[in-house]
């Protein structure tokens, strides 16, 4: 059997016909940082359909040549392409640009003609790389001119929607409603770039392609779980968005909830989009409400804080309120730690601690699963050191891999125990390049595989857990917000949260 290079390792056979990728927000940061480098990389690896046209749409007066220049700059900066490169040249030839106001109906008629001209009969993927305020206008106009309607013979229509997907439950619902007015759910791809990360996909392989851990993956053997997404960066140039979002919206509602459900889900019956997403939904539905929406009770299970000035990576850094563009009296949280419990047969009584923040001492995203101690401490007479719990650490980034901590005997004539690590590292095991999340996700959307995208019900169920926290915080505004020194592992309150249960945060 000859392998189709585009099908190799993909779950869905790509359609061989012409494909057009329309990027709304073609002159923006996301296009430059992520999308163009991803398209380039996929082209270089021969993963894209051969007849791919990219149509950039934005308000700036770039023209085809200007857009090609944006691509050249983007590749130089973010894909490390220096000097002549045939792949970049061939990609540039397939790049087109359409200038216009995204809220103007006429632009969409011109887009229709442009697509007929550069890629007749193509399947079309629309990418909303635009501020959320423009999403409704673009969706409505696409629907109004009929560009969302699928046609026969490979003329499919799909739309990728970037985060933030709403700012609370009500806005997420209306966004879903608006999308469903014009697109079927199968056509909608809500991106969460964490799902495209290799290590996050590997979570499913680790759990469901190995029989060894599944029997102990439950409340009988697992003591508790810690999920951490720590960043050293501050708000950077994104105060306009971040100051009204905060860490809970920015990271917990989407990325951390996705990680939580991948750890907690039951095995799907098959590796299909619906089966995987159904099981993740079951897990999400089993999460106990963090805040009681009626009484506002539950705030003691969640800590928020904001970074003050301090030292990170050997540099003095300003406090959050002194960052450019941030309101000096802002109470936006840059740190969140919370405890969640699941009402499920598998997880009843096992606490999950979630933590994310900016300006911590180290960039690390990991899931640490701590197992229960052995039922009998038979070495306590001979070994002065207490037995540590077994720990499974899934390192999402930056040092991608999986480690297992267990007890070993120290070589000596005496009986002495010490914890040791068994390590699997992506870099040393596989070498080579690890694909960027956007490469995987863009390719999946082009072939129509939604497994790694957030379904409408997941987004809403996640907001249903998160929105009451915002409401409770709003009701307690007068109490302000604790701070933590930049470069430290968060405020004392976060340590108290987990210490109260007899545990400690892993400080990596």
Asked if residues 261 and 280 have their Cβ atoms less than 8 Å apart, the reply is yes
Please give the residues from 137 up to 156 whose contact with ligand BG6 meets the rule CB under 6 A.
none
d(CA 53, CA 124): 9
Asked if residues 486 and 311 have their Cβ atoms less than 8 Å apart, the reply is yes
Please give the residues from 414 up to 473 whose contact with ligand BG6 meets the rule CB under 6 A.
none
d(CA 154, CA 404): 47
Nearer of residues 49 and 319 to ligand BG6, judged by Cβ: 319
d(CA 456, CA 375): 43
Nearer of residues 187 and 365 to ligand BG6, judged by Cβ: 365
Total interface residues for ligand BG6 by CB under 6 A = 3
Work out how close the CB of 3 gets to ligand BG6 at its nearest, in angstroms, rounded to a whole number: 31
* Strand duo 401-409 + 391-397: pairing: antiparallel
Residue of closest CB approach to ligand BG6? 250
**Per-residue string for binding with ligand BG6, 362-391, x by CB under 6 A?**
---x--------------------------
Question: How many alpha carbons lie under 13 Å from residue 473 in its C-beta half-sphere?
Answer: 20
User: Is 255 labeled as catalytic in the residue annotation?
Assistant: yes
**Binder among 231, 366, 400, 444 for ligand BG6 (CB under 6 A):** 231
Read off the tokens for 339: 């405890």
d(CA 504, CA 368): 12
List beta partners, residue 342. Answer: 287
DSSP state of 35: I
**Per-residue string for binding with ligand BG6, 244-273, x by CB under 6 A?**
------x-----------------------
Count CB-CB contacts under 10 A for residue 482: 17
Work out how close the CB of 241 gets to ligand BG6 at its nearest, in angstroms, rounded to a whole number: 8
Work out how close the CB of 71 gets to ligand BG6 at its nearest, in angstroms, rounded to a whole number: 23
Nearer of residues 15 and 365 to ligand BG6, judged by Cβ: 365
Is there binding between residue 162 and ligand BG6 (CB under 6 A)? no
Q: Which is the catalytic residue, given 255, 315, 456, 476?
A: 255
Work out how close the CB of 437 gets to ligand BG6 at its nearest, in angstroms, rounded to a whole number: 7
List beta partners, residue 222. Answer: 371
Asked if residues 367 and 255 have their Cβ atoms less than 8 Å apart, the reply is no
Work out how close the CB of 505 gets to ligand BG6 at its nearest, in angstroms, rounded to a whole number: 18
Annotated active-site positions, please? Answer: 255
Q: List interacting residues with ligand BG6 (CB under 6 A).
A: 231, 250, 365
């Amino acid at each position: 059997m000859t392998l189709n290079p585009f099908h190799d390792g993909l779950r869905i056979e790509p359609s061989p016909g012409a494909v057009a990728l329309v990027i709304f927000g073609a002159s923006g940061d996301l296009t430059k940082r992520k999308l163009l480098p991803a398209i380039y990389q996929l082209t270089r690896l021969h993963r894209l359909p051969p007849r791919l046209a990219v149509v950039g749409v934005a308000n700036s007066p770039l023209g085809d040549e200007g857009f090609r220049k944006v691509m050249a700059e983007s590749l130089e900066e973010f894909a490390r392409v220096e000097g002549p490169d045939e792949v970049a040249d061939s990609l540039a030839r397939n790049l087109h640009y359409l200038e216009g106001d995204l809220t103007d109906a006429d632009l969409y008629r011109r887009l229709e003609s442009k697509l007929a001209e550069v890629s007749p009969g193509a399947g079309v993927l629309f990418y909303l790389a635009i501020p959320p305020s423009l999403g409704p206008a673009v969706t409505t106009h696409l629907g109004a001119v009929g560009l969302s309607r699928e046609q026969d013979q490979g003329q499919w229509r799909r739309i990728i929607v970037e985060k933030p997907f709403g700012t609370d439950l009500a806005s997420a619902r209306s966004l879903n409603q608006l999308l469903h007015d014009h697109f079927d759910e199968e056509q909608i791809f809500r991106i969460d770039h964490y799902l495209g990360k290799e290590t996050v996909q590997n979570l499913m392989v680790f759990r469901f392609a190995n029989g060894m851990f599944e029997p102990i993956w439950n409340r009988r053997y697992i003591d508790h779980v810690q999920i951490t997404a720590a960043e050293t960066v501050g708000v950077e140039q994104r105060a306009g968005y971040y100051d009204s979002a905060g860490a809970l919206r920015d990271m917990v509602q989407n990325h951390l909830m996705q990680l939580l459900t991948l750890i907690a889900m039951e095995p799907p019956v098959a590796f299909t989009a619906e089966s995987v997403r159904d099981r993740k939904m079951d897990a999400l539905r089993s999460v106990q409400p963090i805040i009681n929406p009626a009484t506002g009770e539950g705030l003691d299970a969640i800590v928020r804080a904001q970074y003050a000035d301090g030292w990170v990576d050997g540099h003095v850094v300003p406090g959050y309120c002194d960052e450019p563009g941030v309101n000096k009296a802002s109470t936006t949280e840059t740190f969140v730690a919370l405890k969640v419990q699941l009402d499920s047969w598998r997880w009843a009584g096992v606490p999950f601690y979630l933590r994310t923040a900016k300006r911590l001492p180290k960039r690390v995203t990991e899931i640490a699963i701590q197992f229960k101690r052995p039922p009998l401490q038979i070495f306590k007479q001979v070994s002065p050191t207490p037995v540590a719990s077994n720990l499974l650490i899934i390192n999402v980034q930056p040092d991608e891999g999986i480690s297992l901590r267990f007890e070993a005997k120290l070589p000596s004539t005496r009986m002495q125990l010490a914890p040791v690590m068994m390590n699997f590292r992506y870099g040393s095991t596989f070498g080579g390049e690890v694909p960027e999340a956007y490469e995987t996700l863009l390719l999946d959307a082009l072939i129509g595989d939604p497994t790694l995208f957030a379904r409408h019900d997941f987004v809403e169920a996640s907001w249903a857990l998160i929105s009451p926290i915002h409401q409770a915080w709003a009701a307690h505004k007068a109490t302000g917000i604790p701070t933590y020194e930049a470069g430290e592992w968060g405020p004392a309150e976060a340590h108290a949260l987990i210490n109260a249960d007899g545990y400690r945060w892993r400080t990596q």
